[in-house]
A and B are shown apart, each in its own frame.
Chain A
Amino acid sequence: MSVYGPVVKIHPVVLASIGDSYERRNEGASRVIGTLLGTVDKHSVEVTNCFSVPHNESEDEVAVDMEFAKNMYELHKRVSPSEVIVGWYATGFEITEHSVLIHEYYSREATNPIHLTMDCALQSGKMNIRAYVSAPMGVPGKTVGVMFTPLSVKYKYYDTERIGVELLQRTRDAPNASSGLTSDLCQVGKAASRVQDMLATVLTYIEDVLSGKQGADNSVGRYLMDLVNKVPKISAEDFETMLNSNINDLLMVTYLANLTQAQIALNEKIVVL
């Protein structure tokens, strides 16, 4: 399905923020809306921040606190001056008529705003994060309507964000949804086991292909060849010397660090005497 319009790249901060404001919504409100901030590129819109805006919605009318939205935007701008309003979000599954009105307001703030929906009530069992852009439609001269065309959504992470998200993923499995931060060697162990899992997947695929259960794919085969060739062929002695010198460096640094710590501890004791 070809999509018209920019690709929307969302950072996980935005989604977590939307989820949090949904949980904190007022009594009786069925959905939450807010502004999306970010940067616009030629072919993509990157959404990096958001804040929720209080609004009242009833059957026939909708009221959005625009003053609040303006104020919040000013405050946010002081911290990150490069972020602009790129659109707005709403929790919920469908796009209602009220959304059209709100979208009109946002088109005044930003050129071609995007509308993001996130289904926090999990009506279809999934979160259904979707983005839309509005396009006018209708017969010219007669009633003109607005059509929301969907855009493709991708998730973009900074490197450090990815590491943070990986840590947060661990709370999924814990029974009380919490986890502590791990110590150093545990982390190396975990990373190694992750690589091991990946290798196991690749191995099962290869075995399937060899035994004929699965057809061979040339591109995958080329990747595999790259992978095997990447392991450097070093002679055993060279490797020994490299390894030993590295280990010696690290041991020396550890020794020096311990020495320094002992020194300042001694210094403290002597001064206090």
Chain B
Amino acid sequence: MASRKESMSTPTAPMASTSSGATLDSPVKQIQIEGLVVLKMIKHYQEEGQGTEVVQGVLLGLVVEDRLEITNCFPFPQHTEDDADFDEVQYQMEMMRSLRHVNIDHLHVGWYQSTYYGSFVSRALLDSQFSYQHAIEESVVLIYDPIKTAQGSLSLKAYRLTPKLMEICKEKDFSAEGLKKAMIGFEHMFEEVPIVIKNSHLINVLMWELEEKSTVADKHELLNLSSSNHLEKSLQLLMDRVDDMSQDIVKYNTYSRNLSKQQQQKHQYTQRRQQENAQRQTRGEPPLPEEDISKMFKPPQPPPRMDTLLIAGQINNYCQNVKEFTSQNLGKLFLAEALQGHNS
């Protein structure tokens, strides 16, 4: 019984740790989204993105003091043609020009992406977000998780790159020394920005109308007790990532072993040289020239650390999601127990 109670208290901790404890020292402290944007994102995924494909789009809005207000968005077409690059820029320009005609905020403030079971920490995301944040300081990426949303509650998170990570990306120095210098762990890569949903009063009136007119929902997904399907998939993805991670670790271990072996060889070589030189001196012969050691023993290439960092971040994310899911399910199971207790 004691173990059960303990695990009930830990689920509350993850919510605090995702905001990385300390206050954000970035220019954006809060994100304010309009209901329209939320609905548009949901619709976009529902219609265009099935399976493991991600759907992306652009967020429009403006910055007010330390808040980022997102007032509209438009989706990106999928990459189906070969000349997708040129198409994209042109598409974006045309869209923004047209939206300006109807008085919609045409300032680019970020982008959104859907995710499959929470697997969004990838090189592509990092690069895109870096180029956005480099151009526009306050931009964010909104991650919408449709599968979690389908289970009962909207899952929308906003992320930015930490200033430390921005520095590193600017220098393009992804080596082990660079990362060590900056003391970046996977927790310091992304920072989450809290989201607030704000609706104008007219939209509020619309909400009242909708509630009156629409039929009551007949599916209460949130209270669904079955959990194994979702858990299986999440754990599968987690296992894949952990495999990747262990491969990376093996690579790193071989690298460090090679490095230390090389150090030893160098040491031995220099010692032998010195011995020989000492012998030759005693015999009266000229000493052998000092050869350039570094040319003889080329140091092995250190493996790139950036991917490992990304994988670690992704694993962390998966674990977080799994924990949230299990805490919800535990609550539901206890509810069911209470109900059954009443019946019998």
The interface of chain A, by Cβ under 8 A from chain B, is: 11-13, 15-17, 19-26, 48-49, 51-54, 65, 68, 71-72, 75, 78-80, 82, 120, 122, 126-127, 129, 155, 157-169, 171-172, 176-185, 187-189, 191-192, 194-195, 231, 234, 236, 239, 243, 246-247, 249-251, 253-254, 257-258, 260-261, 264-265, 267-269, 271-272
Most buried by B among A51, A53, A257: A257
Residue of A nearest to B155 (CB): A181
Chain B residue numbers with a CB within 8 Å of A126 are 209
Let me know if B185 and A268 touch, CB within 8 A: yes
In-complex Cβ contact of A17 among B36, B183, B217, B330 (8 A): B36
- Residue in chain B with minimal CB distance to A165: B210
For B, the interface residue count at a CB cutoff of 8 angstroms equals: 110
B223 / chain A contacts, CB cutoff of 8 Å: 188, 191-192, 195
The 8 A-B residue pairs with the shortest CB-CB distance in the complex, in nearest-first order: A257-B319, A178-B198, A191-B222, A24-B103, A168-B35, A78-B77, A250-B326, A13-B39
Determine whether the beta carbon of B10 is less than 8 Å from that of A171. Answer: no
Provide the B215-241 mask, 1 if CB < 8 A to any CB of A, else 0: 001011111000110010001001000
Q: Is the CB of B46 within 8 A of A79?
A: no
Q: Name 29 A/B residue pairs within 8 A (Cβ), A-sorted.
A: A12-B206, A13-B42, A15-B210, A16-B36, A16-B206, A20-B36, A51-B102, A79-B74, A155-B210, A155-B214, A158-B42, A159-B150, A161-B39, A161-B46, A164-B39, A164-B154, A171-B197, A177-B198, A178-B196, A178-B198, A180-B197, A181-B156, A184-B328, A188-B332, A251-B4, A253-B231, A257-B322, A257-B326, A261-B316
Q: In the complex, which residues of chain A have a beta carbon less than 8 angstroms from the beta carbon of B15? A: 183-184
Find out whether the CB atom of A167 lies under 8 angstroms from the CB atom of B154: yes
CA distance A14 to B151 in the complex (A): 24
* Complex contact B4–A247 (CB within 8 A): yes
Asked if A165 and B323 make an inter-chain contact with CB atoms under 8 angstroms apart, the answer reads no
A267 to B309, CA, bound (A): 10
Inter-chain contact total with CB atoms closer than 8 Å: 270
Judge whether B7 and A251 touch: CB under 8 Å. yes
Whether B134 sits at the interface, judged by CB under 8 Å, is no
Beta-carbon contacts of B171-207 to A below 8 Å, as 1s and 0s?
0000010011001011100000011111111111111
**Are B98 and A169 neighbours in the complex by a CB distance under 8 Å?**
no
Knowing that A164-B39, A167-B153, A272-B183 touch, tell me 10 more A-B residue pairs with CB under 8 angstroms. A16-B36, A160-B146, A162-B217, A168-B39, A177-B204, A181-B195, A184-B324, A187-B153, A195-B223, A260-B315
Q: Contact partner of A265 among B185, B197, B205, CB < 8 A?
A: B185
- In the complex, what distance in Å separates the CA atom of A250 from the CA atom of B103? 50
CA A156 to CA B87, docked complex, whole Å: 33
CB distance from B28 to the nearest CB of A (A): 16
Residues in A whose Cβ lies below 8 Å from that of B328: 184-185, 187-188
**Set of chain B residues within 8 Å of A54, measured between Cβ atoms:** 101-102
Q: A195-B223, A258-B319 are in contact. Are A268 and B186 (CB under 8 A)?
A: yes
Q: Report Cα–Cα, A239/B344, bound state, in Å.
A: 11
Nearest chain B residue, comparing its CB with the CB of A83: B47
Verify A122–B205 contact, CB threshold 8 A. yes
Distance in Å from the Cβ of B83 to the closest Cβ of chain A?
13
Q: Tell me, rounded to whole Å, the shortest Cβ–Cβ distance linking A240 to chain B.
A: 9
Closest to B44 in A: A79
Contacts of A181 in B (CB 8 A): 153-154, 156, 195, 197
- Say which residue of B38, B44, B47, B48 sits within 8 Å of A167 (CB atoms): B38
- B323 pairs with A258, CB closer than 8 A: yes
CB of A250 within 8 A of CB of B329, answer yes
CB < 8 Å neighbour of B199 from A65, A129, A171, A184: A171
- B contact patch SS: helix
B211 contacts A by Cβ under 8 Å: yes
Is B297 interfacial (CB 8 A cutoff)?
no
Contact A250 B227 (CB under 8 A): yes
- B295-332 interface bits toward A, Cβ cutoff 8 Å, 1 = contact, 0 = none: 00000000001001000100110111011111111111
Q: A42 → chain B, closest Cβ, in Å? A: 21
Q: How far is the CB of B5 from chain A (nearest CB, A)?
A: 11
- Given contacts A163-B150, A164-B38, A169-B211, whether A243 and B333 have CB atoms under 8 Å apart is yes
**Residues of chain B contacted by A162 (CB below 8 angstroms):** 217
Stretch at the interface among B117-125, B259-267, B268-276, B335-343: B335-343
Q: Could you tell me if A254 and B35 are in contact, using CB atoms closer than 8 angstroms?
A: no
Whether B72 sits at the interface, judged by CB under 8 Å, is yes
Whether the Cβ atoms of B343 and A79 lie closer than 8 Å is no
Report whether A48 and B47 are in contact in the complex, using a CB–CB cutoff of 8 Å: yes
In the complex, the answer to whether B200 meets A168 with C-beta atoms within 8 Å is no
**Are B199 and A168 neighbours in the complex by a CB distance under 8 Å?**
yes
Q: Are B209 and A129 in contact (CB under 8 A)?
A: yes
Closest Cβ–Cβ distance, residue B192 to chain A (whole Å)? 11
Partner of B153, one of A52, A157, A163, A264: A163
Of the candidates A12, A155, A180, A261, the one whose C-beta lies within 8 Å of that of B196 is A180
Inter-subunit contact B330/A247 (CB<8 Å):
yes
Q: A261–B14 Cα gap in the complex (Å)? A: 12
